[in-house]
Amino acid sequence: MSNISEKKAKTFLVKFMMYIAMFLVVLGMSVVINETNNLSSYTTALLAVTPIIPVIFLLRLVVAHYRSLDEYIQSVMGESLLWAVGIVGCSAMAYGLAAEMIELPSFSPAFMLPAIAFTFGVAQYFQLKSDFNEE
C-alpha cells in the first residue's frame, strides 16, 4: 500500500470513528433530554430521529470512500452489500411472516442497519477469502 493510500485509509477511519462517536453522543443526549423533560409528541419524535443526522454524514463519507477504491474492491463490496441486504431482508421477512402465525417477541427495525453492516463485513470476509484461495 502506498503512503497516499495509507493516509487516505487513516483519514477515512478517523472520520468514520468521529461520526460514530457523534452518533453515540447525539443518541445519548436525545434519550436523556426525552427522559428528563415532558415534551410534546412532535418534539419527542423530532428528538428521536436526531441521531440519524451523523449517520447521514457517515453514509456520505462511506460512499465517497467507496468511489475512491479500485474496481476489484468496489466489486467485492457491491456483491457483499447485495448479500447482506438480501440475507437481512429475507430474515426480516421470514420473521415477520412467522410472527403473523405464532407468538414471537417484537423486533425493533432500528437493528436492521447494524445487522446489514455486520452481515456485509462477514460476506466481504468470505468473498475475499474465496478470491484469495482461487489464486
Last residue of a domain, one of 48, 68, 88: 68
At 20-76, the pLDDT tens digits run: 999 999 999 999 999 999 999 999 999 999 999 999 999 999 999 999 999 999 999
Residues 82 and 98 in one domain: yes
Rounded to two decimals, the pTM is: 0.77
| 35 and 8 housed in the same domain | yes
Q: CA 81 to CA 77: how far, in whole Å?
A: 6
Same domain membership, residue 132 and residue 96: yes
